[in-house]
Structure 1
Amino acid sequence: MELSITEKKEKGTRPEDAKLAFGTTFTDHMFNMDYSIDKGWHNPRIEPFANLVLSPATMMLHYGQGIFEGLKAYKTETGEIRLYRPRDNFKRLNKSAKGLCIPTIDIDFIMESLKTLLRLEKNWIPETPGTSLYIRPTVIATDPYLGVRASHTYRFFIILSPVGAYYSAGFNPVNIWISKDHVRAVRGGIGEFKTPGNYAASLFASEQAKKEGYAQVLWLDGIERKYIEEVGAMNIFFCINDEVVTPKLNGSILPGITRDSVLTLAKRWGMKVSERKISIDELIKAHGDGTLKEAFGSGTAAVISPVGEMRYGDKVLTIADGKTGPVAMKLNKAITDIQYGKAEDTEAWIEKV
């Protein structure tokens, strides 16, 4: 396939880095590509950012057949543009595609197309530490049809957004609400895929948590409602005694790219690392006897997010005196230093643009 490029005549201006929020500003151009059964993926193009024109009967709107990813581009002090583990994101996109009956993409072609888009939009990549260019690849079902089946046509697009910190508090502890009454996903469902329905399922409890002053919801398993799974926007880790613990992937937890980075680095540093089932009762006990030293989340948006407080029903668990712990701090510095070119990339995680 040949990539066509149509440039916008009047270019926009990136907001000042200090004024960047998350996901509110978009660059001048986007990538689009279409799929049909007879042509496969075709007509790849970079063109001015614009609204999509869709029929009211578009299947994505009615049946939720869609997938997406989130990754970032970083600019180093020398002006080099770097992507962090992008091929892992597109491998996960293809895994989600298979789970949602969507045609997979050619990762090599999409990588080259993304790099072309980033070179065109290089002035939109912020340069202040802690800022980046958020990249959102998305696939939606586009058949204008009211009937439950897999679509025959799809649109794949990539949009870009210069961003600051995901949480307004920045790299400071956030407070987490542990949901007792609602679940997000169950094993055997679509919880392990990055699809819009998973996020729709989180909204009701998330709004309840915000009313109580909590930033995110920590979900328990959907069957016994006792085993910890993940937070709405990130995977979760606990430091109990000398062990770094995270819930084992079980089919209802998203396999995070940053989660894998945390596990890799912690093991390389000689830490005791466990991927296993951990119950809310074990967590409460560890808090009570003082062995729960730290809690933190991991994800593309926030990288590492320390947790200062967790609430489960009437129980409030204050962790590390509400401060950022040393493990979270070390991991955040290690990952961001690799992303911004301040440390050696020993794991071959960086792809230069």
Structure 2
Amino acid sequence: MTNSIEITKAKTSKIQDVDFENLSFGKIFTDHMFTCDFKNGEWQKPEITPYAPLTLDPSARVFHYGQAVFEGMKAYKDDAGKIWLFRPEDNLARINKSAERLAMPAFPHDLFMEGLKKLINIDEDWVKPGFGNSLYIRPFVIATEPAIAASPALEYKFLIICSPAQSYYSGDVRVLVAEQFSRSANGGVGFAKAAGNYAAQFYPTSLANQEGFQQIIWTDADTHEYLEEAGTMNVFFRINDTLITAPTSERILDGITRKSIIQIAKDADINVEIRPIKVSEIVEASKNGSLKEIFGSGTAAVVSPISAFSHKGELFEVPKQDDKYSDKFKNLLNGIQYNTLEDPYGWRQSI
């Protein structure tokens, strides 16, 4: 494998046709993409080419056995026009951890960082300044070997595509606590960003949507007694002035925003408990008035407040707070990401 990236630029740009004031998340893509094939036991020469459809054999193993993993990350532009990434090495570590669980090859660190930065530099005009504006970055790996035997593929394709984004969620979110369906189970792939994890969520989430809820708070597969994740996000609970979140495990994604919030909270002398949380504990806290906040955390939304949850047919409203932890965390994270605040952690990287 060579680290020399072959670059072919688009003859014309699509950017003049994009209404950046009215973006639908994940539907518009930049002019270029990064690709690299894995063949004969090693990664081949990487390329940056004009964004275009792929041609795959109908027997490509990704279609039959689901060997597909991905990441979600963002680039931000400050008021001086400089572009920043947020903890990109963590994204690479996680996609490689996901790949390992699905018997897929790891992608080299240096090549990932070089390809990512060159791709964003080429499409830098797509990164708009201002809070809420960002470039959503989707690295992913798929099995491309044309064979339908039930075994790991010998050929893969690593890609990075980018999509301009605005604020992902608007307003508070109402959630349904899962009592029947499960997101993941012990010994499974819940900790991995495997494509199939998300496909399996769509049906129960659509049922929740029909009942007027935007998302589900997932519970453990064995007993449905313990709270785990909210939709595609990690979830936090504030009881009085204590912040509580479930520990990461083979069922729960090791969220990068989650880790960042925990660090920020601890540095702000907020009591943080990382432990299993029973549904009954949150129900009781809601009834006795000690439940102050519930919010999800993730790359797309950063922090998403939850205004109500339903369990066993009973709706519990989360009271509005003047001094919300969720607002503090989002403002601090955005300040680091957009280079308006100091970054004492070294999370921010320039392009």
**Cα distance between partner residues in 1 of 2:156 and 2:114:** 21
Match of 2:20 among 17, 22, 47: 17
SS in 2 for 1:283: helix
Q: State whether residues 78 and 130 of structure 2, in contact with CA within 8 Å, keep that contact through their aligned partners in structure 1.
A: no
Correspondence 1:1-353 to 2 at 5 A: 1=2, 2-13=4-15, 15-38=18-41, 40-167=42-169, 169=170, 172-321=171-320, 326-353=324-351
Secondary structure (helix, strand or coil) at the match of 2:295 reads strand
Q: TM-score, normalised on structure 1?
A: 0.96
Equivalent AA in structure 1 for residue 134 of structure 2 = S
8 Å CA contact 1:258, 1:300 repeated in 2: yes
Does the Cα contact within 8 Å between 1:17 and 1:127 map onto a contact in 2? no
Q: CA deviation at 1:291?
A: 0.7
Q: Distance in 1 between matches of 2:63 and 2:322?
A: 41
TM superposition shift of 1:126: 1.7
Distance, in Å, in 2 between the alignment partners of 1:8 and 1:325 is 49
Give the TM-score normalised by structure 2: 0.97
Distance 1:136 1:106 in 2: 17
Residue-by-residue CA offset, 1:287-313 (whole Å, 9 max, x unaligned): 011110111110000001111011112
Q: CA deviation at 1:250?
A: 2.2
1:325 shift after superposition: 5.5
| Contact 1:82–1:351 (CA under 8 A) maintained in structure 2 | yes
User: Are the equivalent residues in 1 in contact too, given 2:35–2:46 (CA < 8 A)?
Assistant: yes
Aligned structure 1 segments of 4 or more residues deviating by more than 4 angstroms: none
Instruction: Give CA deviations for 1:195-228 in whole Å, capped at 9, x if unaligned.
Output: 0111011111110111122111110001111100
In structure 2, give the amino acid aligned to 1:165: S
Mean Cα deviation higher: 263-272 or 206-215: 206-215
Unaligned runs of 5+ in 1: none
Q: Distance in 1 between the 2:233 and 2:130 partners?
A: 24
Question: Is the 2:131–2:334 Cα contact (8 Å) retained in structure 1?
Answer: no
Match of 1:127, SS?
A: coil
CA distance in 2, matches of 1:116, 1:65: 27
The number of aligned residues is 348
CA RMSD of aligned residues (A): 1.1
